Amino acid sequence: MPRLLPLLTATALTVFSAVPSDAKAPSPAARPNVIVILADDLAYADLGTYGGEIATPNLDAMAKRGLAFTQFHTTPMCSPSRAELLTGADQHRTGFGTMAEFLTDNQRGQPGYELHLNSSVSTIPEKLRPLGYNTYMSGKWHLGRGATPPQRGFDRSFYLIQGAANHFVNKGYAKHMATVEYEEDGKPFTLPKDFYSSDFYTQHLIDYIDAGRPSGKPFFGYLAYTAPHFPLQAPKALIGKYEPIYAKGWDALRAERFARQKQLGLVPADAAMPKMRDKVPAWSSLAPDQQRYQAKVMATYAAMIEDLDANVGKLIAYLKKTGQYDNTLILFTSDNGPEALDLSHDYFLPNVTDWIEENYDNGYANIGSASSFVFLGEGWASAAATSHRLFKDYVTEGGIRGPLIASWPAAQKRTGFAADFSTLIDIMPTVVDAAQGGTSRQHPGAPARPDGEGTSLLPYLEGKSDVLANGFDGMGFELFGNEAFISGDWKILKLRAPEGDDTWKLFNIAWDPGESRDLSQAYPVRFAALKEAYAAYAAQNGVISPPSGFKIVPTGGKRPETSRTGAR
């Protein structure tokens, strides 16, 4: 996906140059290990580094000794983000121009909408294997059965095929998906009795790495958690720890996170906290039993994140113990913003809602256990998104602004916050750059090429450049017909009903991270230039918008017997 220079000042496209024919590859011993860690539906403000209250000491420590990116952007949903991360290409080129669950007739059979990683893109492990790397994956795949991890470059892989599952047992999420599929190296895998997703994924990756050590090869590891994706389930002791914290409710949580983000400089000091969504009731209006119920829901979400963080700490401890830590580049991010849909209440997918009602006990006492199936919901998702508008599913900042933490002790020269624009498609060139010792890095004199993708973040990490993207300053976003283009601090955004009126608006996301003030009339030249940039992006990447009237969340009403927020 080409990133476009601001059309106000330039029209040329720039990309990283090809490896020079006389470049000497570094010796295998000099190459770093690389681990990419992906959380699932984790909000930008959930981690302590970004203003959150959840205990994430390991990720916070990694950010403190590394870099925490504050203008990092994802796609709005799971599969497109995973496709971009693994290939360095725009989602519409990879086969995931949309989600499999929402493919429309005009997209069916079109290039870029195959719903598996297509043959036009290469994955990180496919790039690193020829360089002498062992390649491992553990966690959620969700990139189709047409191209599974063993087929796309992974030497060893344990993975969940589907996009969601019970975190304790092999149970699915709907009548048509009563059980889910786990595989190892292409063969069906039976889960052990003591399975919990984050714990098992982490240990399995450690086992792969350890088994490969005698080879003397560097390794690439992809650790794709399913936490904190629904169903919200976590170790019981951790849930109890957080219930008192969230007894104050979602209104208080939003205000506290917003205040901390101001203190950290992540939000302008004079910014006003975005208005809470009209659909979300004031916390004070809930009955005591409803407040108690909802506090435990959020406590379970937080417990999942603390457990994820503890597993990151376990992985780091293993790397240190085995002497591999200093020369390991670790990148941590999330696939999109927090999930707001509550399919146990929102009755537009009856096969999900009815199946949950028939198969799970979502009473207060059972929340967080293997036999419960609860969702975060709009109140807590809005609080988790904090200073940003909306959440997962949307190309607003609440849907696509994510954390990115980068750490490489052996090579890192710059630490702290990095405020330049960056995206998921930068992961692939960053990893390949590290593996090739900089021989694939873009240089200022590289010729312009119209087929550019992401760019390496390593020159910035290593202190060799004062900018992140070497001239790239723009990127388009589209999913479900909602569209955006970001260039520097400026963003145009067009949302379909019910969240928008299908017209373009202009925002400055540095001044106004909540996207509340349309500046299109005040800056007409910039507005026009960004609309032109989006049109070029859409044409170059084969974007096919759904027909007019398409809605990801069709009006389906709520079931009276399941729409209560209190205990059953």
pLDDT band at 440 (very low <50, low <70, confident <90, very high): low
Q: Alpha-carbon distance 412 to 66, whole Å?
A: 7
Quick check: 566 pLDDT over 80?
no
The mean pLDDT value for 207-230 works out to 97
Residue 106 resides in a domain: yes
63 part of a folded domain: yes
Q: Tell me how many domains the chain contains.
A: 1
Q: By mean pLDDT, which of 113-122, 261-270, 547-556 is the weakest?
A: 547-556
Q: Given this model, what pLDDT does residue 130 score?
A: 92
Exposure pattern of 13-27 as b/e (b: 16+ CB <10 Å)? bbbbeeeeeeeeeee
Q: Are 493 and 505 in contact (CB under 8 A)?
A: yes
Q: Length of the chain, please?
A: 568
Which pLDDT does position 438 carry in this prediction? 63
CB-based contacts of 270: which residues, under 8 Å, 6+ apart? none
Structure tokens at 364: 């207060």
What mean pLDDT is reported for the chain? Answer: 88
Task: Give the HSE-up count for residue 267: Cα atoms under 13 Å, Cβ half-sphere.
Answer: 27
- CA–CA separation, 64 vs 56, rounded Å? 12
pLDDT-based confidence at residue 553 (cuts at 50, 70, 90): low
Residue 186 within any structural domain of the chain: yes
CA dihedral 317, 320, 322, 326 (to 10 degrees): 140
Q: Which residue, among 17, 134, 24, has the nearest Cα to 436 in the 3D structure?
A: 24
In the chain, how many H helices and how many E strands?
14, 14
Query: What one-letter code names the amino acid at 27?
Result: S
Tell me the C-alpha distance between 227 and 307, whole Å.
Answer: 9
CB 67 within 8 A of CB 416: yes
Look at residues 40, 77, 331 and name the one whose alpha carbon lies nearest to residue 160: 40
In terms of Cβ atoms closer than 10 Å to its own Cβ (0-12, 13-18, 19+), residue 223 is buried
Contact 425, 454 (CB under 8 A): yes
Using CA atoms, how far residue 439 sits from 16, 136, 471, in Å, is: 10, 24, 19
Beta strands in 40-166 (DSSP E): 67-73, 134-140, 156-160
**Nearest Cα to Cα of residue 441 among 458, 423, 465, 418:** 458
Mean pLDDT of 505-517: 95
CATH code (residue 430): 3.40.720.10
Q: What's the pLDDT score for residue 343?
A: 86
| Residue 546 included in any domain | no
Q: How many Å apart are CA 33 and CA 213, to the nearest integer?
A: 11
Residue 347's pLDDT is what? Answer: 63
Confidence of residue 463 (pLDDT cuts 50, 70, 90): confident
Asked if residue 226 belongs to a domain, the reply is yes
Q: Is residue 568 in some structural domain?
A: no
Within-domain flag for 465 = yes
pLDDT (average), residues 485-505: 94
Count of beta carbons in the 10 Å neighbourhood of residue 161 = 17
pLDDT at 100: 86
State the catalytic residues: 78, 142
Mean pLDDT of 63-89: 95
Q: How far apart are CA 553 and CA 482, in angstroms?
A: 13
Those residues with Cβ within 8 angstroms of residue 314's Cβ, 6 or more apart along the chain or in another chain? 202, 203, 206
Please say whether the beta carbons of 567 and 364 come within 8 A: yes
Answer whether residue 306 is part of any domain: yes
**What integer pLDDT is reported at residue 437 of this predicted model?**
74
- Predicted confidence (pLDDT) at residue 285 exceeds the cutoff of 60: yes
Higher pLDDT, 230 or 444: 230
pLDDT at 500: 92
Between strands 182-184 and 187-188, the pairing is antiparallel
- 338-374 pLDDT, tens digit per residue, is 999 898 877 667 778 888 989 999 999 999 999 999 9
Residue ranges making up the domain that contains 207 = 33-541
Bridge partners (DSSP) of residue 139 are 159, 224
